[in-house]
Structure 1
């Protein structure tokens, strides 16, 4: 059942309560997208559901509206225990889903908590103590909160597994099954996944009761979006940053996402752009959670207008106002290309997508172009060779002729990443040892050329390991270390141990 978004029924005509209809109307949403139109009648009657839909098709409201219809709000005498649980793979997606549900439930004062790792426990446990109706969270943090009995799941009547295939990719499936075992048997379960690999299909067979399957695809899966202007240039690796610097000075450019293939490339490029005067930041998997959230907040608020990202870090990221996407490194395949350019040209807005390819990228690019029927290279079959001085570059992308590779000081109006506060995500919890492995030293915070506070290691919000000493005092200093070495004289020196 594949379809596109069109003028069909309204949320009101589908039987959604007036308070929710009003909350959605306040943000100019009145008609459902395809996945919502097909899912709502099924989910509203309480049936289990499998929705095959990628990010960007509107699936949040496909499960969010039924949740809001079924739960008791504070004004209805809600107990304060969670009535709905949404399990998803990443913090960024969790924050986005929580925001959307809070907007849709605001007229009934529905309380939504986003629970995820990499930040302190206390704000989340305090919110649970005050009472919430909906919890949106990542598997590890949900298990931690449930294990400490801060999160009580006995009143959950609706469970959603969002981006289930992504949770499989990240190795969360065992954690998901542990969470499922904690929930009441009498519940509605909805599973959403872009694909249905065998382990996800097996999970659905085990935990869903006679589910109904609905499918909807992102409009860009059928080919190029008519709202996004797409161009491809063959560029020399040593000249790409010069070309990019001109693109970032195009007339009408707003927020821009720049995709690289590796984390190191993202760091290096963000630093180079920062040096040239652009408000740039990098986001990738090696950054500590505090640094990642800091970069995303700065990008959303416009303090930074050039976000350099890897594919994994940008998955599920939905930011309003992205006018340009630049594939600084050629995407790996058609799916990656569609995902990248889908960050612009959204919600009726126009966008620009630029792809750089080198000679070695041409076989990959030809396959992408053929798969998506793009025909961007014209009759020659080759992208135009492009340098920072090429006249067609300026003409194609509305770049003023007088610009060069450095942003003039008079145009440096954005405050940059340094103006965004780095939140304390130490997340230490008194008396609690780290329960999910890891600890110690973690990732690095990529440089962007701007001064910033020291960053956090990934997973630092999970309580830090307690230092152990021979005396058991938990904190011997330098002398304590020497005493231990003297007592362990027969053993190998400490520095030789793995």
Structure 2
């Protein structure tokens, strides 16, 4: 290893290698292609990061600012984290690392690339956008890394990865890293690697859970889960907690309910803007919020110091997701607790997960918030209820964390309604229902003109504008009023309901005239 990298890691408190690092460093430093596989939380980022940073030429040695290494990751949160870790390790050498991901403005990322970077960490979509615009040059990339490779190759990113591979030189070093690496993914990956070495840091149990994590599986009713979760969060000596849900809607609902119960909670899911997602993660890392409710977007690679408990509020989809979820605790040799709440409908799914991982929890006990073993298993005080006592509400909460303006792209702005472009007085005037000539009631589809003309006159405007002077009486006609030409009825006119036929329209025109 380069001595400057050793020094930078020592400053960060990292002085010894984990198994995956010890096995991969000699091969990776020699420039070989490899597939690295190890339990989550055992240092895979530095397993590829240290060789990558060692092979990169810093600006002080004549680098021209064109990216020399590319790390591709599946999620934005993981992108930020990997870029931060590599920046820390390469700080002493002066290596510039840039995170490139979607959901925020292009301009700052483009400016950073123009100023020069040596390592780019990015998500596939934004990488391709910038590369096709000509702002990201990939022709000098010597090292390519796919982090959480199984996730990207398995979930539809393969076409994007193939397009990225077409932009980087054929003569390069390629490394794949993940905690789980199914056989088909390994077979697929070999098609764009050169004689890769597959390294398993823990023998044949690489897909299993970390031994330092104590697991509890409860069969819980969906209506009782909020009460049960509230008691889990009051366990003695607990640190930060991550709660995982399968759907975005559930994640937001659980976070809101926990806040209502007095807990400092925040949500991270795909329906939030990138600024809100980063705000929640910053508040969680800094301790302003101690409960993070997330979908599986945060289950991949996110490393937050001090996570003592993970709660699977909803049963994960498969054993791979389960491994990554509970891997947020028990990291880097620490201990942790994982609690999984399995609904009755999810018992078959859980049994498949249990069998695949050999966990030994075939029949989870039926558990409620009042079950005595909840208190003994998790060391919850006997008097704990469904709300956090006010004396324990010491966290500042999500509002204490600044929400950055990232110049976000792709915001889901709700389109203005048909009446939203009008003034307040007009919106008030069209808020109710009108009575038609036939005694029926229908929603208003036009505004009343200040000139006081009747409904038949409005219909006439659409039927034969040149033949009438109704528009002169009531001001200029708006295009949207023309839609009343077939359905209008004369109020104060003939009293007969318009039928929508041409004859009826002409009758209305004559009446208005």
TM-score range, shorter chain: 0.7 to 0.9
For residue 106 of structure 1, give the secondary structure of its aligned residue in structure 2.
Answer: coil
Tell me how far apart the structure 1 counterparts of residues 330 and 340 of structure 2 sit (CA, whole Å).
Answer: 16
Tell me how far apart the structure 1 counterparts of residues 363 and 183 of structure 2 sit (CA, whole Å).
Answer: 36
Whether 1:403 and 2:390 are equivalent positions in the alignment is: no
1:319–1:62 CA distance, 2 compared to 1 (3 A): same
1:213–1:372 CA distance, 2 compared to 1 (3 A): closer
1:152–1:223 CA distance, 2 compared to 1 (3 A): closer
Tell me how far apart the structure 2 counterparts of residues 196 and 398 of structure 1 sit (CA, whole Å).
Answer: 37
Q: Which whole-Å deviations, capped at 9, do the CAs of 1:3-60 have from their partners, x for residues lacking one? A: xxxxxxxxxxxxx121112222223323322332222222212223333456434222
Tell me how far apart the structure 1 counterparts of residues 173 and 392 of structure 2 sit (CA, whole Å).
Answer: 54
Check conservation: 1:81, 1:133, Cα contact below 8 A.
Answer: yes
Match of 1:258 in 2: 243
1:390–1:186 CA distance, 2 compared to 1 (3 A): closer
Deviates more, 1:262-271 or 1:167-176: 167-176
Deviates more, 1:135-144 or 1:151-160: 151-160
Q: How does 1:365-384 map to 2 (within 5 A)?
A: 365-376=350-361, 382-384=363-365
Whether 1:125 and 2:110 are equivalent positions in the alignment is: yes
Question: How far off its partner does 1:62 sit?
Answer: 2.0
Deviates more, 1:184-193 or 1:244-253: 184-193
Find 1:390's aligned residue among 367, 371, 390.
371
Find 1:73's aligned residue among 58, 75, 89.
58
Find 1:26's aligned residue among 11, 14, 25.
11
Q: What TM-score results when the alignment is normalised by the length of structure 2? A: 0.75
Question: How far off its partner does 1:306 sit?
Answer: 0.9
Count of matched residue pairs: 425
Check conservation: 1:220, 1:338, Cα contact below 8 A.
Answer: no
Higher relative contact order (CA 8 A, sep 6+): 1
Structure (1 or 2) with the larger CA radius of gyration? 2
Tell me how far apart the structure 1 counterparts of residues 303 and 56 of structure 2 sit (CA, whole Å).
Answer: 27
Whether 1:417 and 2:402 are equivalent positions in the alignment is: no
Match of 2:152 in 1: 167
1:291–1:396 CA distance, 2 compared to 1 (3 A): same
Q: How does 1:439-450 map to 2 (within 5 A)?
A: 441=413
For residue 165 of structure 1, give the secondary structure of its aligned residue in structure 2.
Answer: helix
Whether 1:272 and 2:253 are equivalent positions in the alignment is: no
1:108–1:231 CA distance, 2 compared to 1 (3 A): same
1:372–1:153 CA distance, 2 compared to 1 (3 A): closer
Whether 1:111 and 2:96 are equivalent positions in the alignment is: yes
Find 1:138's aligned residue among 119, 123, 128.
123
For residue 107 of structure 1, give the secondary structure of its aligned residue in structure 2.
Answer: coil
Question: How far off its partner does 1:224 sit?
Answer: 5.4
Q: Which whole-Å deviations, capped at 9, do the CAs of 1:166-221 have from their partners, x for residues lacking one? A: 2233422222222222223333222335325657644542x333333323359985
Instruction: Please provide the CA RMSD for this pair.
Output: 3.1
1:347–1:209 CA distance, 2 compared to 1 (3 A): closer
Tell me how far apart the structure 2 counterparts of residues 308 and 375 of structure 1 sit (CA, whole Å).
Answer: 27
Q: Which whole-Å deviations, capped at 9, do the CAs of 1:90-115 have from their partners, x for residues lacking one? A: 11111111111111112112110001
Question: How far off its partner does 1:246 sit?
Answer: 1.4
Q: How does 1:31-430 map to 2 (within 5 A)?
A: 31-53=16-38, 55-193=40-178, 194-195=180-181, 198=184, 201-202=187-188, 204-205=190-191, 207-216=192-201, 221=206, 225-376=210-361, 382-427=363-408
1:73–1:482 CA distance, 2 compared to 1 (3 A): farther
Segments of structure 2 that go 5 or more residues without pairing to the other structure are 415-476, 486-513
Deviates more, 1:151-160 or 1:238-247: 151-160
1:219–1:355 CA distance, 2 compared to 1 (3 A): farther
Tell me how far apart the structure 1 counterparts of residues 274 and 52 of structure 2 sit (CA, whole Å).
Answer: 29
Check conservation: 2:282, 2:401, Cα contact below 8 A.
Answer: yes
Question: How far off its partner does 1:340 sit?
Answer: 2.0
For residue 13 of structure 2, give the secondary structure of its aligned residue in structure 1.
Answer: coil
Check conservation: 1:87, 1:160, Cα contact below 8 A.
Answer: yes
Tell me how far apart the structure 2 counterparts of residues 278 and 354 of structure 1 sit (CA, whole Å).
Answer: 18
1:439–1:178 CA distance, 2 compared to 1 (3 A): farther
Tell me how far apart the structure 2 counterparts of residues 391 and 414 of structure 1 sit (CA, whole Å).
Answer: 28
1:364–1:60 CA distance, 2 compared to 1 (3 A): same
Segments of structure 1 that go 5 or more residues without pairing to the other structure are 1-15, 429-437, 443-480, 490-498
Question: How far off its partner does 1:238 sit?
Answer: 2.0
Q: Which whole-Å deviations, capped at 9, do the CAs of 1:52-82 have from their partners, x for residues lacking one? A: 4564342222221111111111222322221
Tell me how far apart the structure 1 counterparts of residues 481 and 82 of structure 2 sit (CA, whole Å).
Answer: 52
Question: How far off its partner does 1:252 sit?
Answer: 0.5
Q: Which whole-Å deviations, capped at 9, do the CAs of 1:330-354 have from their partners, x for residues lacking one? A: 3333333322222111122221112
Check conservation: 1:165, 1:197, Cα contact below 8 A.
Answer: no
Check conservation: 1:221, 1:338, Cα contact below 8 A.
Answer: no
Question: How far off its partner does 1:127 sit?
Answer: 1.5
